[in-house]
């Protein structure tokens, strides 16, 4: 890696990271820039399909269920984020929305959707959060009080339900082609009463709208007006949907940290270049102790975050038990580090960094959300604290 990390990447892994960064610089960044902010960029997804990046995200295997190694996912996301956060996020959202199908779907569901996702032709979404249960939805395993309010109601047949309610802050909504939806099937059962469904976007009663957020990636609200689903749409077992959600999040949580590390590295690279060229106070900025110490702090925190992320990913890949605490540490420290580094980089650059179109202005908007989604920093601290008392 550009940082000179002491983590032992294989030559093949190092070459892959360099290849991804080059691909992002020569092709993906331009496609990302040409997309409409806040909307799904289908040409970008198609390009990632052609270049095999989505195939790397979904190795497939004979039955389509093979998972990407968590470390490979981290390397892929970090490398893309150093060059194009739009490309990184587009790829990550495909993974987040599709892995419930890969891990828990039927043969028919996998055969219908996975080839299209790998080709960059179908857009996926992970529909968990609701107006009354954002971070609380991820903490259902910790609390007995149910937080989900989207409720499937029996439609008179043991084979089906209707979904009524809404989801909010759903990435790729309302433009996704299918949604991994988590809904309550058993009232007052907490996490044990949630079921996962694969819901195609053309189901009657499914609607939605865009939400205008500070991050440039697509995000919106999804509404359900008696949307019909059947047992053929189940992802896993009835009332076991929370496990489906957590299994996907366990895989992706360290790689959120990798996304943050990639953004932080891009900010540090820009700051090192700027401080080495910008003349002020009779010299260049890097010769000022205040600036050099700031750069040193940024680099040190990035390296620590990167090693935490890689360690958590390796723990997942090696099948270690009780990795929730390590994954939470990785996401927590990396996302908080990225916020610190980008802010410090803006300070080093001065007012120019706040102009629309500047790399750091872009990163300043991008870096805030990862401290909230897939479990806010406070939730990660709760998980870590719980793990300290695990027998």
Contacts of 261 (CB under 8 A, 6+ apart): 78, 81, 302, 305, 306, 309, 334, 337, 338
Q: Does the pLDDT value for residue 6 go beyond 60?
A: no
CA 319, CA 305: separation in Å to the nearest integer?
Answer: 22
Polymer length of the chain: 391
Question: What percent of the chain is predicted at pLDDT more than 90?
Answer: 71
Band the pLDDT of 353: cuts 50, 70, 90.
very high
Active-site residue among 88, 130, 374, 378? 374
- pLDDT of 130 reads 86
Q: What is the mean pLDDT of the chain?
A: 89
Band the pLDDT of 144: cuts 50, 70, 90.
very low
- pLDDT of 141 reads 26
- pLDDT of 154 reads 55
357-391 burial string, b = 16+ CB within 10 Å, else e?
ebbbbbbbebbbbbbebbbbbebbebbbeeeeeee
- Over residues 78-110, the pLDDT tens digits come to 999 999 999 999 999 999 999 999 999 999 999
- Over residues 246-300, the pLDDT tens digits come to 899 989 999 999 999 999 999 999 999 999 998 888 888 898 999 999 999 999 9
Helix, coil or strand: residue 291: helix
| Cis peptide bond N-terminal to 174, omega within 30 | yes
268-301 burial string, b = 16+ CB within 10 Å, else e?
bebbbebbeebeeeeeebbeeeebeebbeebbeb
Contact between 211 and 226 (Cβ < 8 Å) = no
Band the pLDDT of 3: cuts 50, 70, 90.
very low
* Nearest residue to 193 (alpha-carbon basis) of 225, 159, 151, 154: 151
Phi-psi region of 375 (alpha: psi -120 to 50; beta: other; left: phi over 0): left
Of 33-37, 113-117, 260-264, least confident by mean pLDDT is 33-37
- C-alpha distances (whole Å) from 133 to each of 31, 124, 339 are 35, 21, 25
DSSP letter assigned to residue 67 = P
Contact between 32 and 47 (Cβ < 8 Å) = no
What tokens appear for 387 in the block? 């793990």
Which domains does the chain possess? 11-123 (1.10.540.10), 125-240 (2.40.110.10), 243-388 (1.20.140.10)
Contact between 31 and 43 (Cβ < 8 Å) = yes
- pLDDT of 391 reads 63
Please provide residue 160's backbone torsions phi and psi, each rounded to the nearest 5 degrees: -150, 170
Band the pLDDT of 7: cuts 50, 70, 90.
low
Contact between 317 and 69 (Cβ < 8 Å) = yes
CA 334, CA 331: separation in Å to the nearest integer?
Answer: 5
- Over residues 305-351, the pLDDT tens digits come to 999 999 999 999 999 888 889 999 999 999 999 999 999 999 999 99
Active site residue 374: yes
Contact between 243 and 251 (Cβ < 8 Å) = no
- Over residues 185-214, the pLDDT tens digits come to 887 777 788 899 999 999 999 999 999 988
- pLDDT of 4 reads 43
The beta-strand segments (E) located in 245-365 are: 279-280, 283-284
Question: What percent of the chain is predicted at pLDDT more than 70?
Answer: 91
Mean pLDDT of 146-168: 64
Helix, coil or strand: residue 240: strand
């Amino acid at each position: 890696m550009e940082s000179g990390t002491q983590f032992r990447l294989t030559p093949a892994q190092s070459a892959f990271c360099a290849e991804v960064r080059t691909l992002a610089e020569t092709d993906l960044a331009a496609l990302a820039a040409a997309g409409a902010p806040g909307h799904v960029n289908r040409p970008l997804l198609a390009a990632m399909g052609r270049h095999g990046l989505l195939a790397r995200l979904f190795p497939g295997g004979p039955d389509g269920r093979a998972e990407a190694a968590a470390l490979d996912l981290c390397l892929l996301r970090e490398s893309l984020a150093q060059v194009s956060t739009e490309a990184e996020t587009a790829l990550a959202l495909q993974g987040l929305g599709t892995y419930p199908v890969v891990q828990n779907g039927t043969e028919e569901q996998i055969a219908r959707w996975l080839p299209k996702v790998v080709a960059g032709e179908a857009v996926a979404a992970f529909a968990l959060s609701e107006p009354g249960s954002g971070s609380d939805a991820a903490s259902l395993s910790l609390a007995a009080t149910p937080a989900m309010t989207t409720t499937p109601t029996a439609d008179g047949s043991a084979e089906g339900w209707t979904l009524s309610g809404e989801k909010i802050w759903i990435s790729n909504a309302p433009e996704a082609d299918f949604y991994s939806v988590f809904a309550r099937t058993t009232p007052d059962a907490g996490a044990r009463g949630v079921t996962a469904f694969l819901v195609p976007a053309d189901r009657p009663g499914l609607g939605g709208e865009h939400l205008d957020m500070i991050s440039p990636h697509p995000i919106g609200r999804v509404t359900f007006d008696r949307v019909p689903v059947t047992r053929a749409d189940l992802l896993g077992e009835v009332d076991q949907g929370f496990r489906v959600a957590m299994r996907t999040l366990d895989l992706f949580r360290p790689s959120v940290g990798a996304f943050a590390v990639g953004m932080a590295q891009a900010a540090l690279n820009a700051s090192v270049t700027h401080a080495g060229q910008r003349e002020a106070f009779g010299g260049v900025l890097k010769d000022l102790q205040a600036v050099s110490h700031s750069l040193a702090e940024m680099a040190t925190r990035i390296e620590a975050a990167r090693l935490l992320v890689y360690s958590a990913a390796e723990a997942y890949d090696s099948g270690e038990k009780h990795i929730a605490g390590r994954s939470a540490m990785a996401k927590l420290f990396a996302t908080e580090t990225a916020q610190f580094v980008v802010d410090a980089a803006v300070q080093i650059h001065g007012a120019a960094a706040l102009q629309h179109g500047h790399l750091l202005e872009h990163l300043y908007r991008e870096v805030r959300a990862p401290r909230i989604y897939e479990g806010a920093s406070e939730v990660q601290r709760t998980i870590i604290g719980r793990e300290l008392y695990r027998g």
